[in-house]
Each structure stands twice: as C-alpha cells, then as structure tokens.
A and B are shown apart, each in its own frame.
Chain A
Amino acid sequence: MDSIMLGLLNVLSPFNLLVIAAGTGIGIFVGAMPGLSATMAIALLLPVTFGMDPAAGISMLASLYMGAMYGGSISAILLRTPGTPAAAATVLDGYPMAQQGRAGKALGVSLTASLIGGVISSIALLTVAPVLGKAALSFGPVELFAIAVLGITIIGSLSSGSPIKGILSGVVGLLIAMIGMDPISGTPRFTFGTMYLFNGISFIVALIGLFSIPQALRLVEKDDGVQKALSSFKDKMLPTFKELKSMIVTILRSSVIGVFTGLIPGTGGDTACWFGYNEAKRFSKEKEKFGTGHPEGVAAAEAANNAVVGGALIPTITLGIPGSSATAILLGGLMVHGIMPGPTLMTDHALITYTLIWAVLLSNVFMFAEGLLLTRAAVTVTKVPNKVLAPIIVILCVIGSFTISNSIVDVFVMFSFGILGYFMDKLSIPTPPMVVGMILGMMLDISMNQSLLISDGSWMIFITTPLPAILLFIALISVLQATPIFRIIKQRLKKIAR
C-alpha cells in the first residue's frame, strides 16, 4: 500500500505532471498524422527520456501511447484514413458522421469513450498488477523459462500475417540476443572478433531502426494523395448525458474487451477495435445503423483501443513479457535506466512501477482535457505532407540512436535494422516478434541454464513441474495451430463428431 501511495505522490510532482501532459499532447498530434504509428513515436521519443529520471521518462512514454490511441481517431473521422492501425474500425461510423456535419460530435464521442476505456484499463492495471506481481515473485527459473517461451510463441503466432513468419521473426530475435557475453559462463558468443559485439546488439538501437526507418521509406514510396479532408468542424464536441447514457453499456463492454485483448501478447489496439466494434454491432438492437454514422460504432472502437493500454501493461510490468510492440519499447525505456524487467519490478523498483501505473491513469484525464483543447489544432497537422515527415523521422532516428552510447556504430546498426525491417515488411514478416525476442533472449538463456543446473542437466524439469508444463503445453498448441497438422486434426475431429 505504501508503494502505491508513494507512486501517487511521485506522479503528482510538477515535473512528472508536465511530462505526462507533454507526452499525451505529442501522442495526440502524432496519432493524428496518418502514416505515423504510436509505436514509432514511442521509439523516437525513447532517446529523449534518457536524460530524465526513469519514472518521469517511462511515464512520458506511456502517456504518449495513451494520447496516440485517441489521436488516431482524428484522421480516421476527418480524412477516412486511420492515424494509427488501432483506429481502423473508427472510420466505419466516424467518417459518415463527419460527412453528415457531425465531425465534432464524432470526435467528442471518441474522446469520451477513450477516457472511459482508458480509466477502466488503468483501474484494472492498478488492481491486477500488484496481485499478479506478488504471485510472480514466487516464480523460479523454470517458471520464467516457460513464461518466456509462451510469450514468444504467442506473440509470434498471433502477429498479423502468417504465424510461421511471426514465430521465425521471434526466434531470429532470440538468436540475435545471444550475441555478446554469455551471462552464465562469461564466454563471448558470436562476436566474430568485433569488440562492438562483446556487449551484444542493443535492442533499443534495433527497435528504433525496425520501427522508424521502414516507416520513413514507406512514406516516400507513394505520392501524397489528394485527400478530401475537412479542415475544421463547427459542431459541439461533447456528447449530452442522454447520448452518453445510450452508449454506456457499449463503452463498458468494449473497455473490458480491450483490457483482455491487451493482456494477450501479440494482440493490440488494432485487434481490440474490431473486436469491440463487432461485439457492439452484435449486441445492438439497431444493427442496421452501424456503418452509416452511428455514434455507438465510434464509441465501441475507441473505448476498446484505449483500454488495451492498461491491459498490455499488466504482463509487461508483472512478468517482463511485453503485450505489444509499444509496451516492448516501454520495457526498453526501463532497461536503458538499468532496470531489468521481470517479477522483481514491483518490489525492487516499486516507486517507478507505481508512478508509471498512476501516470497511465492520469494520462486519461490529460488526454480528455487536451483532446478538448487541441483537437482543432491537431486537424492542421494532418495536412503535413508525408514527404516532409520522412526526412525528419530519419534525423530523429540518427540522433536518437547516437545519443544512447555516443557511438556512430550504433547509428550504422540502427540503419541496418531499418533496411532489414523494410524488406521484412515487404515480405509480410512482422517485426514486433523480433524485438520481443531480443528482449526475452537474455531471460530465456539465464532461466534455461539455471533450471538445468537445478535438475542436474535433465530437461524433464520443464515437464514435471505443473505450472511450466501447462504454460509450455499452451505454447506448443500456439505453435501447432500455425502448422497444417492443426488443420488436419481439426478436420478429423469434425468428421468424428459427425
């Protein structure tokens, strides 16, 4: 309880409030720009937090994540182009509302639903994380090994596109994490005689390249289309109490959906918004209104994508397993300050962790206030041409990766990963599993070797201990469902059932 209160007091310090407000504001603007994702914005802002106190830095990144989730709806409603993939379902009813002259109302509904979704997910984070964190403290290396294996297989198999490619990307990430000094024996591994590789490849450098350079290259590969955009809106933003009452059940349902979707590694706002939207339509008595400019459609999608933030942070904080690419970068933000993610995060670094949790809750309030004040201004930034943004992103990547350890080699590594990410994108190989693999690699290696030491080299320890056995079984299922074997078994079972 003391840690929770200390976190609250820390988050209320003037500097922390300032960085949360700044992070939320930047998030709203970046989210509003089509072509710029929340993940990329967090990756680019990460070096900016190096010079800050860890609690302030991580709070700024988390509030940017929250702000970007709402910001994505601005261009979805006004331009029919989602600012972030998480706002894809918002287009369906948001854009028709704008065409009917109700753009302000659509944005207001989006903002209110985002606030409620965000607050519910923050409360879930504040209540579930300490309990789960306490349980995670009893985990030994065998359990941690199983959790890491489960994390990488689930994020790999649930990533967009082919599960085979997702898992391959994750395993390549794990292999890259093996470069450097072996944590158990101290032997240099795969350094190929290069001094730089003795410390391993910094995953922060890699993620800046993987998430930002491909985005910059994608922005220049096509001509800027002429968008029939609304340059302003005149109607009132906030919904009336009657309107809010008619949508509240949908908002609450979508918020719960968002929290649970966020909990599953590999699924994020982009999945949650469709899930929330479809469920709202399924339960609605006015199904035919969905897709024609129905405020409930906007509310369902927006509550779900903001609720993902708190949900995704639960496994990130308690177990050190990032639920999405954005939370993977948040973990990177902690690691930059020498804080190793994992079950001890809630005890050894309780102040930072609870400050972060309170910052997520508080960022919703800032998002609502700044949303009311800044949405009209954010409409202007949607007009910035992609070709102007691309070189600016590159400069932030180069300077950001240089500042990590004052090394130009880091910049070369960042650029190489950027080019790799571009080609991976062209082949529909997801990049988030690779980053998560790079984060989990060390944890997997240490826990595996410690477990084998405990069992005198017997691999049976992973099967004979109940919890790891269950987790590894789930991991095996998630891998098998990516193969034709699963389809064959499913067909056989169907035949038997008939």
Chain B
Amino acid sequence: MNNLAKHGLASALTLTLAIVFYVNSLKLPDAAASLPRILAVIIILLSFAMFGEAWYNERKNRKVQQESNEPIHGFRVFVFAALIALYVILIKPLGYFVVTPLFLIVALSYLKATQLWKSVLIALGFTFFCYMLFVWFLSLPIPMGLFS
C-alpha cells in the first residue's frame, strides 16, 4: 500500500470516528454534547487536512520520512501480534502460570531469539519473578485461571 493510500485509510477512519461521535452526541443534552461536537468538527477538518498534506507530498514526490534500507519482517510482526492476542485471550481462563511460560517459550522459539533450553529457563525464571514482584511484594492481583 503506498503512502497516499495509507493516509487515505487513516483519514477515513478518523472521519468515521468523528461522524459516529457527532451523530451520537445529538441524543445528549446540550451541556454534555457541546465539547464533543466541537472536537468532532475539528477532527473532520484535520482528517481532510491530513489527507490533503499526504496528497501534496505525493504530488511533490517528497518522502516524508526516511525509511531505513533494512527490510521489515511484516509476517513476523503479524505472527508475534497474533501470539500476543492469543496470550491476552487465554490468560483469564487458563491462568498466568500456564499461559505466561508457554507464551514466552513459543515466542522466543518462533523469533529464534535463543536456544530452546535457554528459552525455557528465561520463561520459568521470568514467570516466577513477575509473580514474586506483583503478588508477593506488591500484593497486586494476577489472573490465576485454573489455579484460582
């Protein structure tokens, strides 16, 4: 996706957000609706301005930001983000002690960060450290899941 298309999509999203909030504010009493309405109108104007700026830069063929030549592993980022999503979904039902070491071992192995035995050691060590810090030292809750 080129730069203009990306900015077009972002502008469309902020525009939609502003319109949804503006329409929703029509149901509110005036005192509660006045500031959100002003903000929604400003966002609408700025969304057009952002797209206009991207279009102007594209026309001038000016690169806004110098990207580094090093390739970005988009698929790797996607898989890692998916692993995070899975971790977030499973931590409540299965619990911290099951999902955290599993997430660490799988993520470190997938990213080829270190050898498997080191990944297991890091996973167990860090899971224990976090538990000690949050629960034992700070008396804060963590999702226990199966262990609750």
Pair from one complex: yes
Q: What is the number of residues of chain A that contact chain B, defined by CB distance less than 8 Å?
A: 63
Q: Are B88 and A415 in contact (CB under 8 A)?
A: yes
Task: Write out, one digit per residue, whether chain A residues 377-410 have a CB within 8 A of any chain B CB (1) or not (0).
Answer: 0000000010110111011101100110010100
> In the complex, which residue of chain A has the Cβ closest to the Cβ of B42?
A171
- For residue B70, which residues in chain A have a CB less than 8 angstroms away from its CB? 222-223, 225
Cα-based distance from A220 to B87 in the complex (angstroms) = 17
* Contact residues, A43-87 vs B (CB, 8 A): 47-48, 50-52
The 9 closest A-B pairs by CB, nearest first: A387-B113, A51-B138, A182-B32, A391-B107, A168-B46, A387-B111, A403-B140, A408-B92, A178-B36
Q: Are B112 and A387 in contact (CB under 8 A)?
A: yes
Supplied contacts A168-B46, A220-B80, 19 more A-B pairs, CB within 8 Å: A47-B140, A164-B49, A171-B39, A175-B21, A178-B21, A185-B32, A187-B29, A189-B33, A221-B72, A221-B73, A222-B70, A222-B72, A390-B111, A395-B130, A398-B87, A398-B88, A402-B91, A411-B91, A427-B7
A interface residues with partner B (beta carbon < 8 Å): 47-48, 50-52, 161-162, 164-165, 167-168, 171-172, 174-175, 178, 182, 184-185, 187, 189-190, 192, 213, 216-217, 220-223, 225, 385, 387-388, 390-392, 394-396, 398-399, 402-403, 406, 408, 411-412, 415, 418-419, 422-423, 426-429, 444-445, 448-449, 452, 483
Q: List 28 A-B contacts (CB under 8 A).
A: A47-B134, A51-B138, A161-B64, A162-B50, A162-B53, A168-B47, A171-B39, A171-B42, A171-B46, A174-B39, A175-B17, A175-B21, A175-B36, A175-B39, A182-B32, A184-B31, A187-B28, A190-B24, A192-B24, A220-B80, A223-B70, A225-B70, A388-B114, A390-B80, A392-B104, A392-B126, A399-B96, A426-B6
- For residue B114, which residues in chain A have a CB less than 8 angstroms away from its CB? 385, 387-388
- For residue B35, which residues in chain A have a CB less than 8 angstroms away from its CB? 178, 444-445, 448-449
- For residue B24, which residues in chain A have a CB less than 8 angstroms away from its CB? 189-190, 192
Q: Are A162 and B88 in contact (CB under 8 A)?
A: no
Q: Are A184 and B32 in contact (CB under 8 A)?
A: yes
What distance in Å separates the Cβ of B70 from its nearest Cβ neighbour in chain A? Answer: 5
Q: Are A168 and B141 in contact (CB under 8 A)?
A: no
B132 within 8 A of A: no
Cα-based distance from A378 to B114 in the complex (angstroms) = 21
Check A175/B18 contact, CB under 8 A, given A50-B138, A394-B87: yes
Cα-based distance from A47 to B139 in the complex (angstroms) = 12
Check A399/B134 contact, CB under 8 A, given A189-B28, A388-B122: yes
Check A388/B113 contact, CB under 8 A, given A220-B77, A221-B76, A408-B91: yes
Task: Write out, one digit per residue, whether chain B residues 100-127 have a CB within 8 A of any chain A CB (1) or not (0).
Answer: 1001100110011110000000100010
What distance in Å separates the Cβ of A438 from its nearest Cβ neighbour in chain B? Answer: 12
Cα-based distance from A415 to B88 in the complex (angstroms) = 8
Cα-based distance from A429 to B14 in the complex (angstroms) = 12
- For residue A189, which residues in chain B have a CB less than 8 angstroms away from its CB? 24-25, 28, 32-33, 36
Q: Which of B40, B73, B122, B140 has a CB less than 8 Å from the CB of A50?
A: B140
Task: Write out, one digit per residue, whether chain B residues 67-87 have a CB within 8 A of any chain A CB (1) or not (0).
Answer: 000111110110011001101
